[in-house]
Structure 1
């Protein structure tokens, strides 16, 4: 049986890490205010642009630009 394993490592400041930090921050803020929330959040980062794509069910209001 042949098995292939691959992994990727990125450094601080890489767009993938920045996107993960943004998505995690949104999730953390919502969970603090609504324990019954449902969050599916993806963040897309490119030069001079950040796009947040999400399905969020919550009773809380957060400032996404913060």
Structure 2
């Protein structure tokens, strides 16, 4: 039994999907860099909400940019 043929790749959705993936890793890197810069206070008083909300925003954007509203 063969797998279904993939949909043809249009470059607009591929471009916006790559932009959203880049946004995920950029914001995770920036939040990690800021937590490493503030290392003694971030270990004593951790604040995970910046990582959590930035990741959820870009995950929401990645999910809804990949949907087609036909």
TM-score of the superposition, structure 1-length normalised? 0.38
**Which structure has the higher relative contact order (CA within 8 Å, separation 6+)?**
2
Q: Whose helix fraction is larger, Structure 1's or Structure 2's? A: 2
Q: Whose strand fraction is larger, Structure 1's or Structure 2's? A: 1
TM-score of the superposition, structure 2-length normalised? 0.37
